């Protein structure tokens, strides 16, 4: 299998079937992707005015990448092997931004050092947890701005989309037209101020078409968990969609009756908020991988 490299010379601001692919790869190939931060690296100072930011150039994603042989109805497995962070990131909040935006009148910018597996905020060091905010494939019809999540992926801001995880995305157009960006050095569930520690960086990943087509994409697997991810206009709608997607998947794959699956999810699963600050809210329903496999879930077959 080949290894390819893609730089930030190739950025898109929407997931769209009209985007021309800038790289074509075979299923199973590895790609090393460089990404800009969510402001396209425009913020260089804590005293910089928000009015100086070009808001038409936010949430850029590097790509798109076409996967040979990908057809509508297929699934794409994105195996995230490595994330290399930059040496600093930025955080911002202000009027009409995030949960506290109705109480804030001025914008605040912080430049956040990143080193030694930690980020520095308020003079203290906290654990870094590099993850990918925007990652998706092109929808079949109208373009979706990168700032908006949906069934195609997009700006899910899900902190478990990180090194060691496999994210399964739907293929809606020939080639899939995969793109990603908006990395964070650290971000808590919710992303309540409207940003994490936004950073550029480099991601090494493997792209692979799946034989199975019954996974509830977007779907994530790592060493600890399986998770269905859903986005909707309200948290209630997103929570219901994520829980039902994972529950029906477990029911179909293990044969356990749906009432018992519902009880298992209620007793051992975790319904977690990914973000509440994008045009749609994102929720994930997690279930321990170990328990799922003990119950008969064959993840090798599901991801084969």
**DSSP letters of 192-235?**
TTS--SEE-EEEEEEEEEES---S-SSEEE-SSEEEEEEEESSH
Which class is domain 3-151+172-210? mainly beta
Sorting pLDDT into bands at 50, 70 and 90, what band is 304? confident
Report pLDDT digits (tens) over 201-252.
Answer: 999 999 999 987 789 999 999 999 999 999 999 999 999 999 999 999 999 9
Sorting pLDDT into bands at 50, 70 and 90, what band is 51? confident
- CATH dotted code for 219-302: 3.10.28.20
The ranges of the chain annotated as CATH 2.60.120.580 are: 3-151+172-210
The answer on pLDDT for 281 being more than 80 is yes
pTM for the full predicted model: 0.97
Q: What is the pLDDT of residue 49?
A: 87
CA distance 153 to 201: 20
CA neighbor of 87 nearest in space, from 2, 190, 201 = 201
The answer on pLDDT for 174 being more than 90 is yes
Report pLDDT digits (tens) over 287-303.
Answer: 999 999 999 999 999 99
DSSP state of 21: P
Backbone angles phi, psi at 247, to 5 degrees: -60, -45
CA distance 163 to 131: 7
The ranges of the chain annotated as CATH 3.10.28.20 are: 219-302
**DSSP letters of 155-184?**
E---TT-STT-EEEEE--STT--EEEEEEE
Is the model more confident about 56 or about 189? Answer: 189
Q: What is the pLDDT of residue 211?
A: 80
110's enclosing H/E stretch is strand 108-115
3-state DSSP helix/strand/coil % of the chain, to nearest 5: 15, 40, 45
Q: Could you tell me what percent of the chain has a pLDDT over 70?
A: 100
Q: What is the pLDDT of residue 248?
A: 98
Report pLDDT digits (tens) over 1-31.
Answer: 899 999 999 999 999 999 999 999 999 999 9
Report pLDDT digits (tens) over 115-170.
Answer: 999 999 999 999 999 999 999 999 999 999 999 999 999 999 999 999 999 999 99
Cβ neighbours of residue 113 closer than 8 Å, sequence gap 6 or more = 87, 88, 119, 120
- The mean per-residue pLDDT over the stretch 66-95 comes to 97
């Amino acid at each position: 299998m080949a290894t390819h490299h893609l730089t930030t010379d190739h950025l898109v601001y929407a997931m769209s079937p009209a985007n021309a692919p800038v790289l074509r790869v075979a299923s199973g190939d590895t790609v090393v992707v460089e990404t800009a931060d969510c402001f396209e690296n425009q913020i260089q100072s804590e005293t910089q005015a928000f009015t100086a930011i070009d808001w038409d150039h936010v949430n850029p994603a590097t790509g798109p990448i076409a996967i040979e042989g990908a057809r509508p109805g297929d699934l794409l497995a994105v195996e995230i092997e490595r994330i290399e962070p930059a040496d600093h990131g930025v955080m911002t909040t202000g009027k009409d931004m995030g949960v506290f935006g109705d109480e804030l009148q001025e914008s605040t910018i912080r430049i956040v050092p990143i080193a030694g597996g930690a980020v520095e905020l308020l003079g203290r060091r906290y654990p870094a947890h590099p993850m990918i905010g925007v990652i998706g494939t092109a929808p079949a019809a109208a373009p979706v701005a990168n700032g908006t999540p949906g069934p195609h992926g997009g700006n899910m801001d899900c902190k478990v989309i990180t090194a060691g995880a496999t994210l399964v995305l739907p293929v809606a157009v020939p080639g899939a037209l995969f793109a990603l960006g908006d990395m964070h050095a650290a971000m808590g569930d919710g992303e309540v101020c409207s940003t994490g520690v936004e950073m550029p960086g480099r991601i090494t990943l493997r792209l692979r078409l799946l034989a199975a087509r019954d996974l509830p994409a977007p779907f994530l697997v790592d060493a600890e968990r399986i998770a269905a991810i859903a986005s909707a206009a309200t948290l209630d709608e997103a929570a219901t969609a994520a829980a039902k997607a994972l529950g029906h998947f477990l029911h179909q794959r293990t044969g356990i009756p749906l009432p018992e699956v519902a009880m298992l999810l209620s007793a051992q699963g975790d319904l977690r908020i990914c973000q509440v600050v994008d045009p749609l809210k994102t929720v994930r329903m997690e279930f321990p991988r170990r328990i799922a496999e003990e119950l008969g879930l064959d993840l090798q077959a599901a991801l084969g």
